[in-house]
Structure 1
Amino acid sequence: MTVVSNSSPLVYLAALSDFELLPKLFGTILTPLAVWREVVEQAPGLPVRAAVEGALGHWMNVVPLTASPSLTTLPRGVLHAGEAEVIQLAREVGANAVLIDDRIAVEHARSLGFTVVPTVALYIRAKHLGLIPSVREKADQLRRARFRLSDADYQAVLRAAGELQRPPRSGPP
């Protein structure tokens, strides 16, 4: 499976000490140069820098684009450089999935036919594979780390992970 990652999944997995889930879930991860710059050159002192540097050449590779992201392929909203390069690289290498969280980028990637795996979905997959015991704990940690996860999305994540307690039914059986 060919997977291209944006910076946010890398940043949050490193912050929660879960970076090593990536090769267990997907094997090799590709990132474009803009993402590498965000997580290595522009992230001194953050856990993601050391995590990415340790993974490079093993199960993570930085792949240069053969063409610049075309403005004609971008959605109405503006994508950041990393998101635009993730989608462009995914197109160039024929990726099966992209790891990305930004809503506009998610919608655009889906419109191009890519499977989108947001950070929280990584944890759902990890739980289903027996790599972690609880998604709720990870979702709570993500929220404490300032990951944007609305109450509705939080509930949906727990439901998808089978960790949402359903309220008892009221009324006659």
Structure 2
Amino acid sequence: MIVVSDTSPLCYLILIGQQTLLQQLYGRVFIPPAVFDELSHPHSPESVQGWAAALPAWVEVLAPQHIADELAALDSGEAAAIALARDLQATVLLIDERTAVRFARSQGFLVTGILGVLVDAANSGLVSLADAFAALEQTNFHRSPTLFADLLKKHGSE
């Protein structure tokens, strides 16, 4: 399985202390240099910067060969992640931002974000979905007021 990640899913997993779920679910994750730069940026949370400074062996930074002009409307990390996913013929693209998700899906990618990762991890018995959502509520993650409750109802509380 080839998995490419944008910044947001990684950042939120780090913030809630669940970044190893990616290794447990996917084994290895590729990120483009633009994503690494966003994670390392001085405005990123300290824990995220620290994680990027000591990048785990299961994360590989790899530059895309070419970023197509059609990706110019997206954030640089999103565009680079989609371009890298194209290059690697990725199985899964981890991305959260709506515009980038719509574009990636229109290109035929299987896309999931932080919530999909957490649901998959809960379904695999790796994490309590209720606990993960409670931790995510302590961050600046944007969502509708009922999203977590709806997902817990659909996927179970544990």
Q: TM-score, normalised by structure 2?
A: 0.90
Alignment root-mean-square deviation, CA: 1.9
Whole-Å separation in 2 of the counterparts to 1:162 and 1:44: 32
1:59 matched to 2:75? The reply is: no
- Aligned pair partner of 2:126 in 123, 128, 131: 131
Structure 1 residues 146 and 33: alpha-carbon distance in aligned structure 2, compared to 1, 3 A threshold? same
**Unmatched 5+ residue regions in structure 2?**
none
Q: Which deviates further from its counterpart, 5-14 or 47-56?
A: 47-56
Distance 1:26 1:73 in 2: 26
Determine the structure 2 residue equivalent to 1:156.
150
| 1:142 shift after superposition | 1.3
Where does residue 171 of structure 1 map in the other structure?
Answer: none
- The code of the aligned residue for 1:24 comes to Q
Against the structure 1 CA distance between its residues 155 and 55, is the aligned structure 2 distance closer, same or farther, given a 3 Å change threshold? same
Shift of 1:24: 0.3
- Aligned CA distance change for structure 1 residues 49 and 83 (closer, same or farther; 3 Å): same
The whole-number CA distance in structure 2 between the counterparts of 1:148 and 1:44 is 17
Q: Which runs of 4+ in 1 moved over 6 A?
A: none
Alpha-carbon distance in 1 for matches of 2:156, 2:45? 36
CA contact (8 A) 1:52 1:60 kept: no
Question: What is the 5 A alignment of 1:91-106?
Answer: 91-106=86-101
* AA at the equivalent of 2:35: V
Indicate the residue corresponding to 1:70 in structure 2: 68
Change (3 A) 1:158 1:45: closer
Q: Which amino acid aligns with 2:79?
A: A
Residue by residue over 1:128-153, the C-alpha shift from the partner in whole angstroms, topping out at 9 and shown as x without a partner, is 11111x21222232122010121243
Distance (whole Å) between structure 1 residues aligned to residue 44 and residue 115 of structure 2: 25
Gaps of 5+ in 1: 165-173
Conserved 8 A contact 2:6-2:31: yes
The aligned length equals: 158
Shift of 1:154: 2.3
Q: Go from structure 1 to structure 2 and tell me whether the alpha carbon gap of 1:105 and 1:44 turns closer, same or farther (over 3 Å shift).
A: closer
Q: How big is each residue's C-alpha offset from its partner over 1:30-77, in whole Å with a ceiling of 9 and x where there is no partner?
A: 000100000014456621122233334x1001001211x222356xxx
Q: Distance in 1 between matches of 2:123 and 2:110?
A: 18
**Offset, 1:99:** 0.7
1:25-64 to structure 2, matched below 5 A, reads 25-43=25-43, 46-56=46-56, 58-64=57-63
Percent identical = 32
